[in-house]
Amino acid sequence: MIEILTAAEVAEAARTGAVVGDILQALRQRCEPGTNLLDIDRWAERMIREAGAQSCYVDYVPSGFGRGPFGHYICTGVNDAVLHGRPRDQRLADGDLLSLDLAVVRNGVAADAAISFVVGDVVDAESAPLIAATERALAAGIAAARPGARIGDLSHAIGTVLTEAGYAVNNEFGGHGIGSTMHQDPHVPNSGRPGRGYRLRPGLRLAL
């Protein structure tokens, strides 16, 4: 379902997004060599509750794979692990590439974001350019997202940055719509052709 938000809901979405951003940055500051992934999950749970929000993940049951609810409050991916990894009893090492993905709902509006960063002082030669390229790709997708544009315009902008940086593009994952629930249509592939796909309109929210 493609959900179009009212002006009031868009304002609430900005506030919910700020909650997600603040929590992610607070967690980033607390992550250091020796930090356990399960501690990150507990910190996220407490911060979500203190913000008056609810986790989109803890009771989430993915369709098509996995068993039962996700059972955690944040997704953690270490080094080459997939982004939507479950927190487990693992301590971070100096130089680990950590991805944190967080989604919450507050006052009926959801927000979803992720960050990737290197833990500690040792920066792997592959991690820094990967992070920089994905940040540029995100910025390009945001710049292309305007009323009247099509999903293909966003996908093309994102994919161009990634391929020019030398990375293969996977369209199985990508961005998506978000409104009162975490995952909604339309799907936003990581590469595409300009002028193709759903036409954007005011009130449509996307997580890229």
Run means of pLDDT, 10 residues per run, the chain, 208 residues: 93 97 98 98 98 95 73 95 87 96 97 96 89 96 96 97 94 90 93 95 93
Q: CA-based diameter of the chain, in Å?
A: 48
- pTM of this prediction? 0.93
> Rounded CA gap, 203 and 4, in Å?
5
The encoded tokens of residue 65 equal: 């794979």
SS3 59: coil
- DSSP category for residue 121: S
> What pLDDT score does 102 carry?
97
Q: Are strands 75-78 and 54-55 parallel, antiparallel or unpaired?
A: unpaired
Question: Which element (helix H / strand E) includes 127?
Answer: helix 127-144
> What pLDDT score does 65 carry?
59
Kindly provide the residue ranges of all beta strands, DSSP E only, lying in 5-92, ordered along the sequence.
Answer: 54-55, 75-78
The encoded tokens of residue 203 equal: 């009130």
> What pLDDT score does 91 carry?
98
Beta bridge mates, 177? 184, 206
> What pLDDT score does 64 carry?
61
> Rounded CA gap, 134 and 30, in Å?
23
> Rounded CA gap, 120 and 143, in Å?
32
- Which alpha helices (H) appear in 31-126, and where do they start and end? 37-50
> What pLDDT score does 7 carry?
94
Under 8 Å between Cβ of 24 and 121: no
Residue with tokens 């161009």: 160
Q: Which amino acid is at 54?
A: Q
